[in-house]
Amino acid sequence: MLPASACGTRGRAGMPPRAPGSASLAARTRSARPAMAALPLPPGLLRRLREGTPQDPAREIPPESPRRPPQPLPPFSFAPRRLRLGPQHPLLEDGDVHRHLYLQGVLSSLEDVAERPKVSEFSCHISGCCQVFDTLEGYEHHYNALHRNVCSFCKRSFPSGNLLDIHILEWHDSLFQIMAEKQNMYKCLVEGCPEKFKSSKDRKDHLVTVHLYPADFRFDRPKKVKSVPKHTSCPMEQGPSVPMEVSVETAEQLQLDPMETGPGEDMEIPQPAASPVPSLPEKRLYKSRIPSTICFGQGATRGFKGPRKKV
Amino acid sequence: MWGRRRGRRGAGRGAEELRARRREREAALRKARREEQLVSKRLLREDSAAEEGGQDGADAVPDPLSEDEVLELLRAVQRGSEDRKGSLGRLRRALQNEETQQKFVRLEGSVRTLTGLFTSSLADMQLEAARCLHELSHSSDPTVAEACLPVTSYLLTYLSGHSVEFTELCLYTLGNLVVESEAVRKRLLPQGIIPVLASCIQSPHEAVLEGVGYVLSQLLQAKESPVEIIPQVLDSVLPQHMLRLVCSGLKAGLGAAVEFAWCLHYIICRHKSNTVLLALGAVPALTSLLLDLASEIPQDAPEGLELLMCPVLRCLSNLLAETGCQVRDERLLIALFLLLQCLLQQHLFLGQECLWLLNNLTADDPFLCSALLSLDLLPALLQLLPCSQMASVLVLTVLCNIAEKGPFLCQRLLQQPVLPLLLPILTQPDPEALGQCLELLHLLFLHCPQAAADFTRQGGNQALEQHQSIPELQERAQALLHMVRQPLGAPSPCHTTLPAFS
């Protein structure tokens, strides 16, 4: 039986008439709802679910005659139909509100926070790197920022394997230079964009106009850069007194010689074995990776030779 | 799940105060939704001594700084001093205040400084700068979000990196920025956010996946999404991964599954023709998921299950409405009711959401209509009547779906017995439910005239007579009274017990 007070205790006076035959589900202001009693379910349902309900021979199934939906007789209008509800439908309001309460972190049941595991201090395992950490995440981030995607030729680090690969190709691969004279070799940096260009400048123009990248995008330095005063190519406007930045940033911006790799320097280097994080399958040019025994600590000054004339 | 990273609630904060705060939020959200302005953001804030109160703690959010104080902080950060990291930390805490955020972005070079630090290879500076940007992203002032435009290309670039924590931070920052301003979205789409997310969704890290889901869910709710965003998403590998992650939610990570389930819902309810998702087998996959959820619950119902169940129900309902496909598996009915049994009392809204699906399942499927009865689920179905006004209407609609299938099922309904349960409904004031009740009675009397006599005997006529004065019910009430008062004619099919009727 239904509980004694079913939906709504509002009076009828003043309720506006509704359009006849409307099949829409109208929103109503909610009045106090009674507490829900538990659902009266027959026993054994869970078992039937898990084991799959056997075909019950005693169950009578209505015969499957081709159904012409019978026309409803006026004034009755009911015809069964599947409902499709759009994003703003009133029926979805409660669920949407619940979802947003969750996003805002207001659902009390989810307040319990798992403590982050504390570890005692440890240092970076790359030899020569002296950075110390007390959280795994801090270490992981350091490793990924400094040691993971590093060019073995010029020691620059890159935020992703993709950018590193592009860099190596364009800066340190002489075959690339040769081929670039005949065909468009400069790949667009945006993932998923197939365009290629004949010069670094053309690519930059494309990045700026089509992909709305900043003109001074840090990871698209053109290869031949004369010694440029640092504040015009640096993305930050800073005074000269920026010692920490200089030791790292400046070295990256000034032109380091692309070391011409002779055949003797090609090395098959496996990835460092102790990755803190299982990595995604990566396309790698193994011969350009740094052996794990070599470290590039942050703040290390980097050698700068004058521009070498091409022989 | 997402909640794992938030600061603890301040000690001494009363439960009543929390409930009051929740009610306030809820009222604000309802209002926003009715104005179609429903926007929420997430905030990742570290557990630290200064933030005991957590996101909601009014004590923990610092007071706004003056313009000079903000400038001082900025200069301290720009100087390459020993304590730069400390200055950045202080800046970050100050930026928890929205006014301070506004002042900060108005200072010349401020965002540029943060961008520079954010893109340096000094890992801890970078992380701290990222946290500052994250605070800024949480502002409800669109100008603050727009001030962060220069940083978007870098946020995207770093998503291809490997630090889980850093990537997660970038993702939530992006998600917050996305939802605040169309200008930001107009920038991010050509910058390639969709392909980047399509790569990130293949990450094995749950935290990253949850973040990806969050960004996507914000993108998909944008008003221009049906034109600008959904087609791109459907064209990528995102749909198959979303479906996979939703369906493996119980084992692999409820947080990510919840996000992607909502993403799927946002796509399906906005997109006209969901052929991509249908071709990926969304209907059987989501059906299986519900079966799995229902068979796992009793012992260890994970928190937040309703957050997964709700969008999955909606996806199924809308997908079923789009195609003529049938879900012939009666175990789905069992699963729905088992889940309701577990979740309904705490989350009443699930009643109407389930009923919507039940309607779509039973509308043109005699098999499931019959199964509903033979599984003895009718009492539970009727128990859903008081959930809400819309639930009442839907319960009656489902009953109409059953009754419309013909005398055989009508008879089973009447045997339940259903008539005594309908009588109280006739005394309720809601015209929509009443109308549906009258339709149901009509179907019952049509197929089983004997029922009319029973109805009269139980005093139904008086109830009908009351409604003769209501315009939208009048005709139908009168027609029913007419049916009821007619003398019984030739023996009706309902007198026999043979099942062979259509």
What confidence tens digit (pLDDT) does each residue in B465-477 have?
888 888 888 888 8
- Mean pLDDT (whole number) for A51-79: 63
The letter for the amino acid at B472 is E
Cα dist from A110 to A106, B7, B23, B212, B262, whole Å: 8, 12, 17, 20, 18
* Per-residue pLDDT band at A266 (split at 50, 70, 90): very low
- Mean pLDDT (whole number) for B77-82: 80
Residue A30's pLDDT is 40
Examine the pLDDT at A87 and tell me if it is beyond 50. yes
Interface test with A, best of B162, B341, B354, B409 (most A CBs within 10 A): B162
Residue B459's pLDDT is 84
What number of other Cβ atoms are within 10 A of residue B249's Cβ?
Answer: 24
Do the Cβ atoms of B77 and B84 come closer than 8 Å? yes
Q: Taking the CA of residue B280 as centre, how many other CA atoms within 13 Å lie in the half-sphere pointing to its CB?
A: 20
Residues in A touching B2 (Cβ below 8 Å): 110
Residues in A touching B320 (Cβ below 8 Å): 82
Distance (Å) from the alpha carbon of A151 to chain B's nearest alpha carbon? 14
Query: Which residue among B78, B153, B196 sits closest to A213, beta carbon to beta carbon?
Result: B153
How far is the C-alpha of B138 from the C-alpha of A159, rounded, in Å? Answer: 25
Peptide bond preceding A66 in cis form (omega within 30 of 0): no
Q: Find the range with the poorest average confidence among B136-145, B322-331, B380-389.
A: B322-331
Query: Which residue among A6, A83, A111 sits closest to B359, beta carbon to beta carbon?
Result: A83
Residues in A touching B479 (Cβ below 8 Å): 75-76
What are A1's two structure tokens?
């039986």
**In chain B, whose CA is at the least distance from the CA of A38?**
B341
Q: What is the mean pLDDT of chain B?
A: 86
Examine the pLDDT at A53 and tell me if it is beyond 80. no
How far is the C-alpha of B246 from the C-alpha of B36, rounded, in Å? Answer: 27
Residues in B touching A233 (Cβ below 8 Å): none
Query: Which residue among A53, A106, A279 sits closest to B25, beta carbon to beta carbon?
Result: A106
The letter for the amino acid at B476 is R
Contact A45 B164 (CB under 8 A): no
Residues in A touching B317 (Cβ below 8 Å): 83, 85
Going by C-alpha positions, the residue among B276, B275, B277, B295 that lies closest to residue B286 is B277
Examine the pLDDT at A156 and tell me if it is beyond 50. yes
Interface test with B, best of A91, A217, A248, A296 (most B CBs within 10 A): A91
- How many residue pairs from chains A and B have C-beta atoms closer than 8 A? 417
Q: Please list, in sequence order, all residues whose beta carbon lies within 8 angstroms of the beta carbon of residue B303, skipping any fewer than 6 positions away.
A: A109, A110, B1
What is the ipTM for the molecules in this complex? 0.89
Q: What is the pLDDT of residues B29-43, one digit of tens each?
A: 898 888 887 778 887
The letter for the amino acid at A153 is F
Q: Please list, in sequence order, all residues whose beta carbon lies within 8 angstroms of the beta carbon of residue A150, skipping any fewer than 6 positions away.
A: A156, A157, A158, A164, A290, A296
A187 forms bridges with which residues in the sheet? A196
Do the Cβ atoms of B391 and B355 come closer than 8 Å? yes
**In chain A, whose CA is at the least distance from the CA of B191?**
A211
How far is the C-alpha of B468 from the C-alpha of A36, rounded, in Å? Answer: 32
* A218 SS3 class: coil
pTM score, whole prediction: 0.79
* Per-residue pLDDT band at B20 (split at 50, 70, 90): confident
Query: Which residue among A3, A28, A110 sits closest to B389, beta carbon to beta carbon?
Result: A28
Looking at chain B, how many residues does it have?
A: 502
Q: Find the range with the poorest average confidence among A242-246, B471-475, B479-483.
A: A242-246
Q: What is the pLDDT of residues B372-401, one digit of tens each?
A: 999 999 999 999 998 899 999 999 999 999
Residues in B touching A100 (Cβ below 8 Å): 29, 38, 40
* A196 SS3 class: strand
Q: Taking the CA of residue B348 as centre, how many other CA atoms within 13 Å lie in the half-sphere pointing to its CB?
A: 19
Q: Please list, in sequence order, all residues whose beta carbon lies within 8 angstroms of the beta carbon of residue B441, skipping any fewer than 6 positions away.
A: B422, B455, B460, B480
Phi, psi of B499 (to 5 degrees): -85, -5
* Per-residue pLDDT band at A133 (split at 50, 70, 90): confident
* Per-residue pLDDT band at A201 (split at 50, 70, 90): very high
Examine the pLDDT at A261 and tell me if it is beyond 70. no
Residues in B touching A142 (Cβ below 8 Å): 123-124
Residues in B touching A112 (Cβ below 8 Å): 3
Examine the pLDDT at A292 and tell me if it is beyond 70. no
Examine the pLDDT at A303 and tell me if it is beyond 70. no
Contact A85 B295 (CB under 8 A): no
Distance (Å) from the alpha carbon of B61 to chain A's nearest alpha carbon? 16
Examine the pLDDT at B214 and tell me if it is beyond 70. yes
Examine the pLDDT at A241 and tell me if it is beyond 50. no
Interface test with B, best of A106, A158, A220 (most B CBs within 10 A): A106
Distance (Å) from the alpha carbon of A284 to chain B's nearest alpha carbon? 15
**By percentage, how much of chain B surpasses pLDDT 70?**
90
* Gyration radius of chain B over CA positions: 28
- Mean pLDDT (whole number) for B448-460: 86
Q: What is the mean pLDDT of chain A?
A: 64
Do the Cβ atoms of A157 and A149 come closer than 8 Å? yes
Residue B248's pLDDT is 92
**Residue spans of beta strands (DSSP E) within chain A:** 122-123, 132-133, 186-187, 196-197
Residue A277's pLDDT is 38
- Mean pLDDT (whole number) for B218-240: 95
What own/partner pairs with CB < 8 Å and gap ≥ 24 does B186-190 have? B187/A212, B187/B149, B187/B152, B188/B152, B188/B156, B189/B228, B189/B229, B189/B232, B190/A210, B190/A211, B190/A212
Going by C-alpha positions, the residue among B366, B453, B440, B439 that lies closest to residue B408 is B366
> Which run of H or E residues covers position B215?
helix B206-220
Residues in B touching A2 (Cβ below 8 Å): 382, 385-386, 421, 424-425
Do the Cβ atoms of A92 and A82 come closer than 8 Å? no
Peptide bond preceding B417 in cis form (omega within 30 of 0): yes
Strands A132-133 and A122-123: antiparallel
Largest CA distance in chain B: 100
* Per-residue pLDDT band at A249 (split at 50, 70, 90): very low
Examine the pLDDT at B11 and tell me if it is beyond 50. no
What are B268's two structure tokens?
């399906």
DSSP A111-152: ---PPPPP---EE-SSTT---EESSHHHHHHHIIIIIISB-T
* Per-residue pLDDT band at B264 (split at 50, 70, 90): very high
- Mean pLDDT (whole number) for A3-9: 34
Examine the pLDDT at B175 and tell me if it is beyond 90. yes
Examine the pLDDT at A49 and tell me if it is beyond 50. yes
Residue A118's pLDDT is 63
Sign of the dihedral defined by the CA atoms of residues A79, A83, A84, A87, in that order: positive
